[in-house]
Chain A
Amino acid sequence: DVKVTQSSRYLVKRTGEKVFLECVQDMDHENMFWYRQDPGLGLRLIYFSYDVKMKEKGDIPEGYSVSREKKERFSLILESASTNQTSMYLCASSFSKIFYHYTGELFFGEGSRLTVL
């Protein structure tokens, strides 16, 4: 059973604080993603990574950065949190297309609800 674990379910931070959201997957997936979920806006891609130390901007990367030092771990960083970054953050992972067991399925974590005051 695939497991994607996000370190914190709920966080409350103050404006200007640096915030780290951690995500770990145990299925040896190559691809990892960070999405932001807001009511009425669906799931929007912030950043993704298809290999260790590789990262690509998604649709809304402003105000965020990421780090992938190990294959199983993908971190989302808010350098200086702002109130408009209050949201639910979802991490996901998937196999790479180059492997035979690629199905296209994304496996999501439970989410981290961040409130910035």
Chain B
Amino acid sequence: GENVEQHPSTLSVQEGDSAVIKCTYSDSASNYFPWYKQELGKRPQLIIDIRSNVGEKKDQRIAVTLNKTAKHFSLHITETQPEDSAVYFCAASRMNTGFQKLVFGTGTRLLVSP
């Protein structure tokens, strides 16, 4: 089955810096890679996702890149702000099967200091 590894487990940056979180996956058939953000005491929420037919996707200050050959994908946050502080989870799954089963990484706790 799929296995997703996520690094680092914690990341501290100064406000305005960039933050990068990296994930690797094991199943070469995986083709859908979402990122979820979980603020303290809140539910995880989807912030961005990418499918395997594209290499990069951007949404304002966040971007995700995918390297299918190396089986890794990354979340990039530019101009970080204190409200970016949260736990971020990457995940992977196959979208071409009848049912999608997401496998999550272990999470990265991002702390943005003012």
Which A residues are within 8 Å of any B CB, using their own CB? 4, 31, 35, 40-45, 48, 50, 56, 58-59, 90, 94, 97-98, 104-106, 108-111
Contact = CB atoms under 8 A, between A and B. Distances in A.
Which applies to chain B's interface (DSSP): helix, strand, loop or mixed? loop
Interface in B3-48: 6, 9, 32, 34, 36, 42-46
Nearest to B43: A108
A104 B32 contact: yes
Contacts of A106: 34, 36, 44, 46, 102
Contacts of A105: 34, 46, 49
Nearest to B93: A104
Contacts of A31: 99-100
Interface in B99-113: 99-107
Contact of A90 (B9, B34, B44): B44
A94 B101 CA distance: 11
A43 B95 contact: no
